[in-house]
Amino acid sequence: MKIAITSYGKDLGSEISADFSSADYFILIDTGYLGDFVPIKNHHKNQVNDAEIFGALLIISYDVKIVLTGYCSQNALRIFQKASIKVIGNAYGTVEDNILKLTGEDLNLINNN
């Protein structure tokens, strides 16, 4: 299952973005392959209008099933609901810490095998 986590940086130690539409990156992780991740640059974050809509459509194009973020606007939530994507809000801390909370898997142990 693919997860997208909003982030201020492009690595697992980056802080989760406080707001979906202003995330610098979307970190994509497949729970079947936790050692691998893909940072996707959010080129829409500086748009004056509809940044959250274009960001949501970008996420949908990667077949994501769960989005973790600090806050997600109603516009993006409606798009995610129509695409059957679960949104987990109020997330904070690092990307890696939240993956551990969500999956119970310590990425340091996985990456060191």
Is-contact 40 6, C-beta < 8 A?
no
Give 33's pLDDT tier (boundaries 50, 70, 90).
confident
Q: What is the CATH number of the domain that holds 31?
A: 3.30.420.130
Give 45's pLDDT tier (boundaries 50, 70, 90).
confident
- For the whole model, what pTM was predicted? 0.86
**Domain membership of residue 77 as a residue range:** 2-111
Is-contact 104 11, C-beta < 8 A?
no
Which secondary-structure segment (H or E) carries 28? strand 25-30
For residues 9 and 65, what is the distance between their CA atoms, to the nearest angstrom? 21
For residues 65 and 87, what is the distance between their CA atoms, to the nearest angstrom? 9
- pLDDT for the residue numbered 34: 66
Is-contact 93 16, C-beta < 8 A?
yes
Which range, 35-44, 46-55, 104-113, is most confident? 35-44
Domains in the chain, number: 1
